[in-house]
Structure 1
Amino acid sequence: MRLHRNLVFAVIDGLNEIFNEGEYADKVVQKLLKRDKRWGSRDRSFVAETVYEIVRWKRLYAEIAEVKEPFSREKLWRLFAVWATLRGITLPDWKQIGHTPTRRIKGRFDELSKIRKFKESIPDWMDELGESELGKKWEKEIHALNKQAPVVLRTNTLKTTRDKLKHALLDENIDSESIKGYSEALQLTERKNVFTTQAFKNGLFEVQDASSQLVANFLDVQPGQRIVDTCAGAGGKTLHIAALMQNKGQIIAMDIYANKLKELKRRARRAGAHNIEPRVIESTKDIKKLHNKADRVLIDAPCSGLGVLSRNPDAKWKLQPEFLDKIRKTQAEILENYSKMVKPGGKLVYATCSILPSENQEQVNKFLASESGKDFTFKKDKKVLSHESGYDGFYMALLEKK
């Protein structure tokens, strides 16, 4: 593999923004990909994948390269040299790269691979937390979460069927296969940019991980009901609910961020979902108005996001233990307040993209033992671990109001 100077420089610039300026990896990569109109798809995928790889393995590579943060440009080049060496890429004779001790890098890699926090490239606190909450499963789980996430699509059944979508994609040279146990999902056999396809522009699918596709089904919605999606965000699950309801009934999509709901409106138009009403939560009044009014309530709660590290590797470095304490408190408050919207006989789903019991079943148990939770019966829950499913780590619990 021959390295091209302009592509490698783009990678170094991207890493500088992520590691030193606190930018989010996905936003940085999006921006880098627009940098040079002459780049082909292979050039763009080299930039994107190399940035993500070095972000994912930051701790391991920094340890091998013997560099510490903050990373100067010289140190970033050393991280890049480690990445290239471990991939068997011959380094060009550029002044930025300097002498690279190939044998030493490989030796250090073998040595550090015996210690989990280096081998899986995670902060000490995260390794300790994972082990204390998941026990023996943590080793396999963090290993799975360090793999690049597959591209999974959800068929928009308001407009097409899974088989028709598969053929429409094939017409645009995109090969996909169905996944056993996920009725609307298609997984790409190789990574491609699906957002430029006609099928996407026509609203035939959304990009949505297979685990995330389980949540709307878990809610057991029926056409004609009134559903409240309380933390709707940009609406991946909201759109799925609309399709399951065949556009009949009402979905109130709520969020504290107006810009996310604006994006949801745009996506709903493309998907042909007409029964969604976005509402910004500005005060507790917005919640009180809906007390005892909803047949179904979805709480897709804010969480640590530890179940989606494979698609957000920079979260390993941005997440702090203090944030976890804060988010658990928020989860408890949201459950307490938003559960009041469920009408007697109605159902509630509490879901997170976390793998930690302290954010999941422990939150549900605490809620059920509280004053507000006494009106609810626990029906079932589902714990999805990445090393068992091959997809994101997720949790969902179904409760019914007496």
Structure 2
Amino acid sequence: MNMRAKVDKPRETALKILYDINEKGAYSNISLNKYLNNPELESIDRAFITDIVYGTLKWKYTIDYLIEKFSSIKIKKLSPWILNILRMGIYQLNYTDRIPVSAACNESVKLAVKYGHTASSKYVNAVLRNIARSKDNLPYPDRSKDTAYYLSIRYSHPVWMVKDWLDRFGEEFTEGLLKSNNDVAPFTVRVNDLKISKQELLDILEKDGFEVENGKYLDEALIISNPSAVQKMEAFAKGYFQVQDESSILVGKVLDPKPGETILDVCSAPGGKSTHIAQIMKNRGTVISRDIHEHKIKLIEQAKERLGLEIIKTEVYDAAVTDNKLEGKIDRVLVDAPCTGFGIIRRKPDIKWTRNLEDKAEIVALQEKILSTASKYVKNGGVLVYSTCTIEPEENEKAVEKFIGENKDFYLEDIANLLPDTLRKESCGRGYIQLYPNIDGIDGFFIARMRRRSK
């Protein structure tokens, strides 16, 4: 092979993004957006890069296990560039159907020549060819000897997480959850009915070549099965829709705001729920959208302008600090709390590798503080909604039970009539719902609704 052979640009871009994430601790979505902004890239290249980055991150645990099995060199001894080239190559070989073995191997070898030397390119070639030959008979651990370890390798999740879920959910549910975390999440959008009807948007998207179907549960949701770079979609730029999963749309439904009310969203960036609330209110009243980070407030501002929602007032504010001037003044308060994010692993696979058990305790303490602080703003007879994008009881029903136990002027309120019939669970009568990707086919979310007693 020509040692100066030209490397494939999309694969090299994917490599740089993975290096950023795995070696420098960059957030996957931020690093991806930074590199995908390159005007030289075609939309087909962007889709390919996104698939390789998220796919390699998703399967990293299993891929590293296979490297250890098939490599004569320990992972710790490999240069980060060569390790990430190998990871990408194994992802292409084992987890995609449309890339020929020769392309996956040859393009990885070319990258190894550029980012390593002749010996490293030969090493990469040998490991990938060995794995390709064993593709139908990979040496997974013995399930009967250690179920947690087998599941963790088979579905690429950390062992501590698998053990935790096995204890809580049992084997069958856990395996279904792990499997669904590796699925590609649907690209769901919420129609902005203040600007356009659902049918009109459907017609425009289909005319533009998009394959569109109705959401699973909600009238205002559409699923686009072949999305391109969303910022480049004309219907997006005109504010005809907002990208938002159905689980997240349900939060606004459970809050059930009315036109003319004053609503406070204490952790509102990037603005999906705030803009939905303003939309439900028909752009009449006030939505105060707060976030602790200035740069995230800009995202809400952009969404608000694009969607034409004048009633949203953005503020940089720490949700854990009491704002005395708002005490007892707000009709409805939403606490979409920071959380471990274990309900959205299929969207953000790096959550599996960046979270640990210590994080959870820290996050639970912060959630408790934010919920307690936010509750002070609710008027007598007003509504408080607490939501997270996780499936951990300590962050969800246990957090709400603790809050109710310590705040006797709040009670949980039946939410069954606020949800679609097909989603009503027994817990809805008790005031909350837990959604799971493997059971409900939408993001893992928790939503609880409480009311302050009228004095």
TM-score interval for Structure 1 and Structure 2 normalised by the shorter chain = over 0.9
1:109 to 1:391, Cα distance in 2 relative to 1, 3 A = farther
Map of 2:412 onto structure 1 = 378
**CA distance in 2 between partners of 1:187 and 1:134 (Å):** 29
Map of 1:111 onto structure 2 = 140
What are the residue-to-residue correspondences of 1:174-213 with 2, within 5 Å? 174-213=210-249
For 1:33, give the aligned amino acid.
L
For 1:45, what is the secondary structure of its paired residue?
helix
| 1:21-42 CA-partner distances (Å, limit 9, x unpaired) | 111111222223234x443222
**CA distance in 2 between partners of 1:108 and 1:217 (Å):** 48
1:223 to 1:34, Cα distance in 2 relative to 1, 3 A = closer
User: Are the aligned partners of 1:130 and 1:356 in contact in 2 as well (CA < 8 Å)?
Assistant: no
For 1:77, give the aligned amino acid.
I
**CA distance in 1 between partners of 2:306 and 2:178 (Å):** 36
For 1:85, give the aligned amino acid.
L
What are the residue-to-residue correspondences of 1:78-157 with 2, within 5 Å? 78-86=86-94, 87=96, 89-90=101-102, 91-92=105-106, 94=110, 95=113, 96=121, 97-99=124-126, 100-102=129-131, 105-106=134-135, 109=138, 111-112=140-141, 114=143, 115-136=150-171, 137-157=173-193
How far apart are residue 204 of structure 1 and its match? 0.6
**CA distance in 2 between partners of 1:182 and 1:163 (Å):** 14
How far apart are residue 194 of structure 1 and its match? 2.9
1:283 to 1:397, Cα distance in 2 relative to 1, 3 A = closer
Q: Does 1:396 align with 2:447?
A: yes
How far apart are residue 158 of structure 1 and its match? 1.5
How far apart are residue 285 of structure 1 and its match? 6.9
**CA distance in 2 between partners of 1:391 and 1:61 (Å):** 27
1:116 to 1:71, Cα distance in 2 relative to 1, 3 A = farther
Q: Matched residues, percent identical?
A: 31
**CA distance in 2 between partners of 1:18 and 1:113 (Å):** 31
How far apart are residue 59 of structure 1 and its match? 0.6
TM-score normalized by the length of structure 2: 0.82
> Which structure has the bigger radius of gyration?
2
**CA distance in 2 between partners of 1:13 and 1:105 (Å):** 28
Q: Does 1:220 align with 2:249?
A: no
Q: Does 1:281 align with 2:317?
A: yes
For 1:98, what is the secondary structure of its paired residue?
helix
Q: 1:256 aligns with which of 279, 292, 312?
A: 292
Mean Cα deviation higher: 171-180 or 58-67: 171-180
1:251 to 1:132, Cα distance in 2 relative to 1, 3 A = same
How far apart are residue 284 of structure 1 and its match? 7.0
For 1:306, what is the secondary structure of its paired residue?
coil
How far apart are residue 236 of structure 1 and its match? 0.8
| Structure 2 unaligned spans of 5+ | 1-5, 69-73, 114-120, 144-149, 414-430
**CA distance in 2 between partners of 1:283 and 1:190 (Å):** 37
How far apart are residue 240 of structure 1 and its match? 0.1
How far apart are residue 71 of structure 1 and its match? 5.5
1:65 to 1:212, Cα distance in 2 relative to 1, 3 A = same
Q: Which has the higher contact order (CA 8 A, sep 6+)?
A: 1
How far apart are residue 273 of structure 1 and its match? 0.5
1:112 to 1:15, Cα distance in 2 relative to 1, 3 A = farther
Map of 2:10 onto structure 1 = 7
For 1:183, what is the secondary structure of its paired residue?
coil
For 2:338, give the aligned amino acid.
P
**CA distance in 2 between partners of 1:283 and 1:55 (Å):** 32
For 2:82, give the aligned amino acid.
E
For 1:342, give the aligned amino acid.
V
User: Are the aligned partners of 1:239 and 1:273 in contact in 2 as well (CA < 8 Å)?
Assistant: yes
| Structure 1 unaligned spans of 5+ | none
Q: Does 1:74 align with 2:76?
A: no
User: Are the aligned partners of 2:319 and 2:370 in contact in 1 as well (CA < 8 Å)?
Assistant: no
User: Are the aligned partners of 2:270 and 2:296 in contact in 1 as well (CA < 8 Å)?
Assistant: yes
**CA distance in 1 between partners of 2:28 and 2:79 (Å):** 16
For 1:389, give the aligned amino acid.
D
How far apart are residue 106 of structure 1 and its match? 2.3
For 1:312, give the aligned amino acid.
K
For 1:16, what is the secondary structure of its paired residue?
helix
Structural RMSD (CA):
2.1
Q: 1:20 aligns with which of 23, 30, 34?
A: 23
How many residue pairs match? The answer is 397
Q: Which has the higher helix share?
A: 2
1:361 to 1:71, Cα distance in 2 relative to 1, 3 A = farther
For 1:39, what is the secondary structure of its paired residue?
coil
How far apart are residue 48 of structure 1 and its match? 1.4
User: Are the aligned partners of 1:56 and 1:121 in contact in 2 as well (CA < 8 Å)?
Assistant: yes
TM-score normalized by the length of structure 1: 0.93
How far apart are residue 103 of structure 1 and its match? 5.4
1:112 to 1:45, Cα distance in 2 relative to 1, 3 A = farther
| 1:219-278 CA-partner distances (Å, limit 9, x unpaired) | 011111111111111211000000000011111112212221222112111111011111
For 2:131, give the aligned amino acid.
T
User: Are the aligned partners of 1:223 and 1:249 in contact in 2 as well (CA < 8 Å)?
Assistant: yes
User: Are the aligned partners of 1:297 and 1:349 in contact in 2 as well (CA < 8 Å)?
Assistant: yes
1:40 to 1:112, Cα distance in 2 relative to 1, 3 A = farther
Q: 2:339 aligns with which of 303, 307, 329?
A: 303
What are the residue-to-residue correspondences of 1:27-42 with 2, within 5 Å? 27-35=30-38, 37-42=39-44
**CA distance in 2 between partners of 1:198 and 1:205 (Å):** 10
**CA distance in 2 between partners of 1:359 and 1:284 (Å):** 16
For 2:220, what is the secondary structure of its paired residue?
strand
1:30 to 1:259, Cα distance in 2 relative to 1, 3 A = closer
